[in-house]
Amino acid sequence: MKTLMYIWRNVRRNRLRSFLTVLSVGFSLALMTVLYGFLASQDTYKNSAAQANRIVVMNVQGFSGRLPISTVDDVRAMKSVVAAVPFSWYGGSYQDEQMPFAQFATDPEKLFDVWPEYSIPPEQLESWKKNRQGCVLDRRIAERRGWKVGDRVPLKGNIYPFDLDLEISGIFDSPKNTDSLYFHWDYLNEGLKQRNFATLDNAGTIFARVQAPGDIPLVIRNVDDRFGSSDTPTRSQTEAAFAQMFIDMLGNVQVLIRNIGIAVVFSLSLVTANSMSMAMLERVTEIAVLKAIGFSRGRILVMVLGESCLISMLGGFLGVGMGCFFLEGMNRILPQFFPFTVLEMLGPWVSYGLIAALFLGFCSGVVPAIRAAQMSVVDGLRRIA
């Protein structure tokens, strides 16, 4: 207990230096926590997608390719397919906000059959089906903006030369924050016909739900074989593979983030090592006196190393806390990019910052601690700290 009190007293001895060291460790590990949290959000999305029996059908050329709306009916008619809907990205602006939330043109008759985990009051769903200009949206959007059923949501087209004047017909609940609004595909297509838009009757992508996980490979093969020789060949994949595709677009991000983490730990070890070396130079005489009154080498080693680890761990807790707070804030402000809360993607990644803090505390303090433990009483008393 006395040793712990002595360590804590030494940490507070030069408060400014300790404070700055804790801040440097904290801010750096906060960056590391945010980067690993981003990777965790991608893994969480893939894992949640893997649990759903859904496939994604798109043109073999990717998002730039076209899928005729008739393809939706062909997919629906296939064996083991429960439901299928078009999913066309609109990407409009609300007032002065560019893409404030995700907006998709789809089929209200089948949307909640493809996503049965979403829930909406039956009367609101029926109202949406009957209202060509109706839309439904995630409850989190409604709460954030103070919207309610019956409010108007005008959207200005950025991709398409057709503006939408939508009315909120319903508000749905979902297990995770989708930050999405859905409206009638027919409403968009008819508006584009009035503007003589070049690409009409385009489903964009198709999401389909399959009866059982074991049926997914067969359905994917049947879909691609069905349209392989057509003018619009398809590339079908599971929803989890579809999520992985977006991660692959960013390149080998995981390796980059891990390398950044290693660089952060290395640079922080130099910072804390410099602080501990300065602290030991100031206490040479004190350490010699402690040895002279009976402090063992092991106890001196523990005190010096404990001080280094304590400073690093304080920075580690600060950094992990700041990183998680930032991720939670991004989930509230930009849920389309960070759809999960910290609790939803909780995992070993949260402890990486603390492990790194303990590691750099040990590495930066071990050399000063060994030197202090091996110092002779005579040499220490000869020097003036």
Packing angle of the helix pair 253-282, 349-374 (nearest 10 deg): 30
Kindly report the average pLDDT of the chain as a whole number: 83
pLDDT bin (cut points 50, 70, 90) of residue 1 is: low
Share of the chain above pLDDT 90, in %: 34
pLDDT bin (cut points 50, 70, 90) of residue 385 is: very low
* Distance in angstroms (rounded) separating the CA atoms of residues 142 and 103: 14
Residue from 38, 67, 108, 36 nearest 233 by CA? 67
Residues 6+ apart with CB under 8 A from 5: none
DSSP per residue, 294-339: T--HHHHHHHHHHHHHHHHHHHHHHHHHHHHHHHHHHHHH-TTT--
What residue type is 374 in one-letter code? Q
Confidence at residue 318, expressed as pLDDT on a 0 to 100 scale: 92
Residue from 290, 267, 303 nearest 375 by CA? 290
Average pLDDT on 113-132 reads 94
Confidence at residue 22, expressed as pLDDT on a 0 to 100 scale: 84
pLDDT bin (cut points 50, 70, 90) of residue 78 is: very high
* Distance in angstroms (rounded) separating the CA atoms of residues 36 and 105: 33
Residue from 371, 56, 68, 4 nearest 216 by CA? 56
What residue type is 37 in one-letter code? G
Confidence at residue 171, expressed as pLDDT on a 0 to 100 scale: 96
Least confident of 124-138, 148-162, 236-250, 294-308: 236-250
Confidence at residue 229, expressed as pLDDT on a 0 to 100 scale: 84
pLDDT bin (cut points 50, 70, 90) of residue 358 is: confident
Helix (H) or strand (E) holding 285: helix 284-292
Highest mean pLDDT among 97-106, 132-141, 260-269: 132-141
Residue from 276, 283, 280 nearest 21 by CA? 276
Q: Convert 93-126 to b/e letters by CB count within 10 Å (16 or more is b).
A: bbeeeeebbbbbbbbbebbbebbeebebeeebbe
Residue from 108, 170, 166 nearest 139 by CA? 170
Residues 6+ apart with CB under 8 A from 300: 287, 290, 291, 369, 372, 373
Average pLDDT on 178-182 reads 90
Confidence at residue 274, expressed as pLDDT on a 0 to 100 scale: 72
Average pLDDT on 280-286 reads 67
Q: What are the DSSP E strand ranges found in 107-155? A: 134-138, 152-155
Q: State yes or no: pLDDT of 372 exceeds 90.
A: no
Provide the residue ranges of all domains of the chain, joining segments of one domain with +: 2-46+252-382, 61-232
Residues 6+ apart with CB under 8 A from 53: 209, 210, 211, 212, 213, 215, 216
- Between residues 241 and 107, the one the model is more confident about: 107
